């Protein structure tokens, strides 16, 4: 598809990767409908999209509500005259030992990160089938392959998303012009770190070398021209898949790292973040931290543990 002709819908468009992707499509002259819970954030990104050369309409929608998503999809289809690409980008997180986090918060993560993407797909796939074409882009993350202690519900949601996409591909194999595309970035510097619920008692921050949202956005825009089942951003795809073999060892190492990190990091109060309500103000795209920001030794160790997981996976792959 020529990007300037694209009709694009993005949920989770008010900040982070969703916002960056909306602006990237707008630069190609695409026509967009943007959805999220936060009005201030949506209005901010819609304005940036128009300034970038695209058209943008917004719709407030809680994607955990299947009926609301169905209505949002119908309105987007009517506004655009069809939908060529739908990007499901909604995601939240809660950080803390599983038993220390209220079960309601775990449930909220599953509802938001997994069920909401199912709601999106359920709403848009009939539209794609009626048109005879369409691309559904499913934002997952490396967390769909490598588990993370202190983020049990997040890991469950991301593993679930990977299985969900695989099931959809099986069902749609006779419809070659309908594509299910998964995207797996490594750490991305977005406002999500400030939105996460936090039960660790320690201040959350990104590891050094985190991707900028624009890097992920470019990969998603490319899928409009060259759809593919799996896109990994930030590391070679074969290494990510091999790293999944190291999960038992990596999980133990990461748990030990997190225990040490929570004892040494700057303290922070317990917070529900944006689990249950959107930010009151626009959050922006992210990727705006000063380049001189120092990297803590603990965060460097976190990246090293991921590399260890990859190395063990490679070793097992050779045996």
- Catalytic positions, written as ranges: 154
Cβ(243)–Cβ(313) under 8 Å?
A: yes
CA angle 67, 71, 75 (to 5 degrees): 170
* Separation between Cα atoms, residue 319 and residue 310, nearest integer Å: 15
Neighbours of 53 (CB within 10 A): 14
Q: With H, G, I as helix, E, B as strand and everything else as coil, classify residue 123.
A: helix
* Separation between Cα atoms, residue 217 and residue 48, nearest integer Å: 15
* Separation between Cα atoms, residue 6 and residue 84, nearest integer Å: 6
CA angle 184, 274, 267 (to 5 degrees): 90
């Amino acid at each position: 598809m020529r990007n300037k002709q694209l009709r694009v819908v993005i949920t989770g468009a008010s900040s982070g990767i969703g916002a960056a992707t909306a602006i990237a499509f707008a630069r190609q002259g695409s026509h967009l409908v943007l959805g999220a819970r936060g009005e201030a954030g949506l209005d901010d990104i819609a304005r940036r999209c128009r300034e970038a050369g695209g058209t943008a309409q917004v719709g407030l929608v809680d994607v955990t509500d299947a009926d609301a998503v169905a209505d949002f999809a119908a309105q987007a289809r009517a506004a655009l005259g069809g939908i060529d690409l739908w990007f499901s980008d909604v995601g939240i997180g809660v950080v803390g030992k599983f038993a220390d986090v209220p079960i309601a918060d775990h449930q909220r993560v599953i509802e938001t990160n997994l069920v909401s993407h199912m709601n999106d797909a359920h709403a848009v796939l009939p539209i794609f089938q009626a048109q005879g074409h369409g691309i559904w882009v499913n934002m997952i993350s490396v967390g769909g392959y490598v588990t993370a202690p202190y983020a049990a519900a997040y890991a469950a949601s991301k593993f679930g998303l990977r299985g969900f996409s695989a099931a959809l591909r099986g069902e749609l194999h006779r419809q070659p012009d309908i594509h299910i595309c998964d995207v797996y970035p490594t750490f991305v510097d977005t406002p999500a770190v400030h939105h996460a619920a936090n039960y660790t008692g320690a201040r959350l921050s990104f590891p050094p070398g985190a991707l900028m949202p624009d890097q992920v956005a470019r990969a998603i825009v490319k899928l409009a021209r060259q759809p593919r089942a799996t896109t990994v951003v930030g590391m070679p795809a074969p290494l990510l898949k091999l790293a999944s073999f190291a999960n038992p060892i990596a999980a133990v190492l990461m748990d030990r790292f997190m225990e040490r990190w929570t004892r040494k990091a700057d303290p922070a109060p317990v917070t529900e973040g944006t689990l249950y309500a959107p930010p009151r103000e626009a959050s922006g795209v992210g990727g705006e931290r000063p380049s001189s920001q120092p990297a803590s030794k603990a965060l460097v160790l976190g990246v090293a543990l991921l590399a260890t997981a990859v190395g063990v996976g490679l070793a097992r792959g050779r045996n």
